[in-house]
Amino acid sequence: MEGWGRYPRHESQAIDCWLPAALAGTVASRTGLIGRGNGRSYGDAAIGEHSTLMCRGLSRMRRFDPANATLTVEAGVMLSDILRSFVPRGYFPPVVPGTKFVTVGGMIASDVHGKNHHRDGGFGDHVIEFKLVGAGGEVLTCSRTHNPELFFATVGGMGMTGIVEEATFRLRPIESGWIAQETIVAENLGEALKALQQTEDATYSVAWIDTLSQGASLGRSLIFAGEHATLDQLAGMPGADRFAAKNAGRFSLPFDLPQWLLNKTSVAAFNELYFRAGARKAAKSSLVHWDRYFFPLDGILEWNRLYGRRGFLQHQCVVPAEDALPVLSGILDRFARSGKGSFLAVLKKLGGGNGLLSFPSPGYTLALDLPVTQEVFRLLDEIDELVVKAGGRLYLAKDARQSRQTFEAGYSRLAAFKELRKVTGADRHFNSRLAKRLGI
């Protein structure tokens, strides 16, 4: 079994689950179990120590209340299904990560953040309540008032408190399925951070960094700010369907690309083209389909095969705002000098997170992906030192390799999390390879 990054691989027994009612018995009779949704976490978070509960069968929506736009679904429901059903009806999920092929259970476990985290927080902030199947098979309703400790441990808790059976959360009303996008060109990292600061009032904002540019243009970026387009804005686009539907994957990579294809020259050429194209659009506002704005990579199904059979590592850190410029400069500089091409890196501003192990914390987050090679491990270890020194941390949903020291330095509420696992008995039933590796 492997995660989306295809590294690492571990043996784990897959257990299918088709009915919510079957959860209790399965959970109570196992140890070393972890829930798995659509397998989009990159590393070993959704690989059970002994067995892995495949939750995709828990894919039924339970109810939608239009009066306050709350939706209750089983945890295996995919974000793509929610979008397909609710965008045409004028609703959008409160928070979406970079792919729509994730389940609601996974979004809670990872407390996923989106391009609106600086304004709206993580997915967990919009969850009203959920049912959690605990260690003994008991089903507990958790909210900010019922079992709040368990609620805040489960949000961002990487499945280590139990199996989410179903969850209720709020959707946001939208006037159209289009995003009004503004593009800002930043010539270097300083400008990029400034631009993210300036676009803080925008609902969505994110920067795409060219990781290969060095020296004076280290960190040159395109910053995309976005708002859900109003009907007035849409009126300027004759013929545009208000809730334009679009099919999911259009193109699937049928095979693994050879690793030599991703090298400094090819990535640099791609980045150059990308930036020129972006710069041409800058300053003009444009309407972008929601699917392309939020999920550009979903257009290439199985894009993880870009990196060849050995897989890839995603490195996503967050560092506090105060020292962000020198720290992120240092990180980008290491990457640029190493010549380990990442297509594009993503930079964005985060607010605080509420779960005990939630990744987001106030500051800037940088995400890069890199093919698995020996040198890359060493490079990332060096970069982790910079992150730790700055008081930052790594995103567990993407992690496949950080050391226990890096993890413990970054997550200050770890002790409370471990204590809760002990008290509820979760530590004896729920364990992923990630939990083992990091000693959670």
Partner 1 sequence: MKGIGKTLLLIGATSDIGRATALIYAEAGWDVLLAGRNRSAVQREADDISARTGANVLVHELDILTTSRFEDFVGVVSPLPDTAVCVVGELGEQSRAERELEHAAMIMRTNFEGPALLLGLLAESFAARGSGTIVGISSVAGDRGRASNYVYGAAKAGLTAFLSGLRNRLSGSGVRVLTVKPGFVRTRMTNAMKLPPLLTAEPREVAQRIFAVAEGGRGGDVVYVRPIWRPLMTVIRSIPEPIFKRLRL
Q: Is 87 in the site for partner 1 (CB under 8 A)?
A: no
Q: Is 329 in the site for partner 1 (CB under 8 A)?
A: no
Q: Which positions from 49 through 68 interact with partner 1, judged by CB under 8 A?
A: 57, 60-64, 66
Q: How many CB atoms lie within 10 A of CB 81?
A: 16
Q: Is 81 in the site for partner 1 (CB under 8 A)?
A: yes
Nearer to partner 1, 253 or 283 (CB): 253
Helix (H, G, I), strand (E, B) or coil at 196: helix
Q: Is 391 in the site for partner 1 (CB under 8 A)?
A: no
Q: Which of these ranges, 16-24, 122-130, 355-363, 373-381, lies near partner 1 under the rule CB under 8 A?
A: 16-24
Distance of closest approach, residue 56 Cβ to partner 1, in angstroms:
11
Q: Which of these ranges, 70-78, 275-283, 311-319, 364-372, lies near partner 1 under the rule CB under 8 A?
A: 70-78
Distance of closest approach, residue 90 Cβ to partner 1, in angstroms:
11
Say which amino acid occupies 4.
Answer: W
Strands 285-289 and 221-228: unpaired
Q: Which of 41, 52, 72, 304 binds partner 1 (CB under 8 A)?
A: 72
Q: Which positions from 131 through 170 interact with partner 1, judged by CB under 8 A?
A: none
Angle in degrees, CA 170, 363, 405, rounded to 5: 105
Distance of closest approach, residue 299 Cβ to partner 1, in angstroms:
20
Residue 213 and residue 370 in contact, taking contact as beta carbons nearer than 8 Å: no
Say which amino acid occupies 115.
Answer: K
Distance of closest approach, residue 73 Cβ to partner 1, in angstroms:
7
Helix (H, G, I), strand (E, B) or coil at 368: strand
Q: Is 73 in the site for partner 1 (CB under 8 A)?
A: yes
Q: Which of these ranges, 14-22, 151-159, 299-307, 383-391, lies near partner 1 under the rule CB under 8 A?
A: 14-22
Question: Per DSSP, what are the bridge partners of residue 173?
Answer: 91
Contacts of 193 (CB under 8 A, 6+ apart): 324, 325, 328, 347, 364
* Closest to 396 measured CA to CA, from 348, 423, 433, 424: 433
Residue by residue, DSSP assigns 74-95 as ETT-BHHHHHHHHTTTTEE-S-
As a whole number of angstroms, the distance between CA 226 and CA 77 comes to 27
Tokens found for residue 86: 């609710």
Nearer to partner 1, 19 or 269 (CB): 19
Q: Is 18 in the site for partner 1 (CB under 8 A)?
A: yes
Chain centroid to CA 47: 17
Tokens found for residue 439: 């000693």
Q: How many chain residues bind partner 1 (CB under 8 A)?
A: 16
Q: Which of these ranges, 11-19, 31-39, 333-341, 412-420, lies near partner 1 under the rule CB under 8 A?
A: 11-19
Distance of closest approach, residue 302 Cβ to partner 1, in angstroms:
14
Query: Which residues bind to partner 1, rule: CB under 8 A?
Result: 16, 18-19, 57, 60-64, 66, 71-73, 81, 85, 89
